[in-house]
Amino acid sequence: MTIEKVRIGLIGCGHRGIIGFLQSLRHIKRAEHVVALCDPNPTRVEFARQYLGTTDCKCYTHVDEFLKHPGLNTVIVTTPDCTHRDLVVRAFDLGLDVVCEKPMATTIADARDMLQARGDRRFRMAFNFRYHPLMQRTKEILQSGVAGRILHVDSTDVVSWQHGGDYFRRWHARREKSGGLLVHKGTHTFDAINWCLEDRPASVFAKGAKLFYTPDQQQGERCKGCKAKDICRFYVDLNHDVPGQTAEIPDFYRRIYLEAEHHDNYLRDTCVFHRDNDICDTHNVSIRYQGGTLCNYSAIFYAAYEERRIAFQGTDARIEVSKRNHNIRIVDAAGKEDIITIPKATGGHGGADVALMQSLFETGPSRQGASATAEDGYWSLAIAACANESIASGEDIAVPPLDNAFKIGSNRSAQV
């Protein structure tokens, strides 16, 4: 489909829908292709329309009406993770193409339903980390063959307490909504590793625990009105935005969450130590790939600083990627070291969001083949879901394969 014919509807007018997609679409001058917006919360959908700045974009609070908007052909899904399955399947049922935020879904069963519903429609995953300048260069280096065959990957997501704490303030902190942080957050890194290795996971073993955001520290239900306001470092006042979260739009948190909460009781400042939070904040994952590569990944959400590190150990060289240092270190077998500093790009997620939008909605260069499919969504989710299963059972979990039933154009009634 040429860009002139793309008529976009965005569902989920929260942080990612507005800051990630609408802002980046405006940046690449594609906002006029957004013809419909949907969110059950009328304040948020109206805020999104005003932000977009186009008068002929229609707002919906009902999904079925939105999906039937005249001429709509491409749906962007930026709703909470647990809702992706139903919305994507409904979009496919109406013959629409889909761009889905990560994670693809929260369970393997949901992801399979989505693949089966796809039929001959286009289903793309919005893995923006692939488009980060660091990952673009890393992929290029790995493809050059300088590292030889990759035998081991060592990766960690060190998430600061400001950023990490924010996952414990809202729906992410409930497993049924987000699948936990290996699903919600880890899938970014799992996808990047899968993409770099050009391989698929075979089995996963994991340990996880909630060690930091423990309920014995809970002082109130939410920050607003909390008696611990002056002593709690996690206290936020939504009138003044959320520290550690980027929102270049003035009063963003007040306008889209605080002043919208009377519609749906979505509280954006729930206590990070809330007794009902049931996800882990500390994780170790061990992955074996089909090609034999072994990978370990860890993720913590209460660190003193922010870092994402991935080290690829090949037969001929070691390639170490550091988001904090914004560089790639290459050390060959003789110990010769080369450090490549990557220039910082502007825009959300280190320039990755705008590059993702260009890839989705402009016919630009291939960007190292970064465009992600639903199958890519499946494989990254599968690592996270199997890790969750391993944490619960203590077993090494074989990653369920995909079969021909999910090939593009396959009949919806095909056997799973």
Q: Is 371 in the site for ligand NAD (CB under 6 A)?
A: no
Is residue 348 within 8 Å of residue 20, measured between CB atoms? Answer: yes
Yes or no: say if 115 and 162 are a contact pair by the CB < 8 Å rule. no
CB of 407 to ligand NAD, least distance (A): 26
- Closest approach, Cβ 12 to ligand NAD, in A, equals 4
Q: Cα–Cα–Cα angle for 39, 234, 248, nearest 5°?
A: 50
Q: Which one, 173 or 330, has the nearer CB to ligand NAD? A: 173
Task: Please identify, among the stretches 33-41, 241-249, 272-280, 374-382, the one whose residues bind ligand NAD according to the rule CB under 6 A.
Answer: 33-41
Paired residues of 373 in beta bridges: 124
DSSP output for 132-156: SHHHHHHHHHHHHTTT-SEEEEEEE
Binding segment for ligand NAD among 40-48, 206-214, 331-339, 398-406 (CB under 6 A)? 40-48
Q: Give the closest residue to 352 by CA, choosing from 45, 16, 8, 6.
A: 16
List the one residue from 8, 9, 14, 298 that touches ligand NAD (CB under 6 A): 14
Contact 67, 98 (CB under 8 A): no
Which residues within the stretch 141-170 sit at the binding site for ligand NAD (CB under 6 A)?
none
What are the angstrom distances between the C-alpha of 391 and each of 94, 178, 210, 299, 384?
A: 38, 16, 12, 14, 10
Nearer to ligand NAD, 81 or 320 (CB): 81
Q: Single out the segment in contact with ligand NAD by CB under 6 A; choices: 13-21, 116-124, 237-245, 405-413.
A: 13-21
Question: Which residue in the set 13, 173, 271, 321 belongs to the binding site for ligand NAD (CB under 6 A)?
Answer: 13
- Of 17 and 208, which CB lies nearer to ligand NAD in the complex structure? 17
Closer by beta carbon to ligand NAD, 206 or else 384: 384
Torsion angles phi and psi, residue 127, rounded to 5: -85, 90
174 binds ligand NAD (CB under 6 A): no
- Among the listed residues 8, 10, 17, 134, the single contact to ligand NAD using CB under 6 A: 17
- Bridge partners (DSSP) of residue 284 are 207, 298
What's the rounded Cα separation, in Å, for the pair 16 and 23? Answer: 10
Size of the site for ligand NAD (CB under 6 A): 25
Per CB under 6 A, residues contacting ligand NAD are 11-17, 20, 38-41, 44, 63, 78-81, 83, 101-102, 126, 128, 184, 349
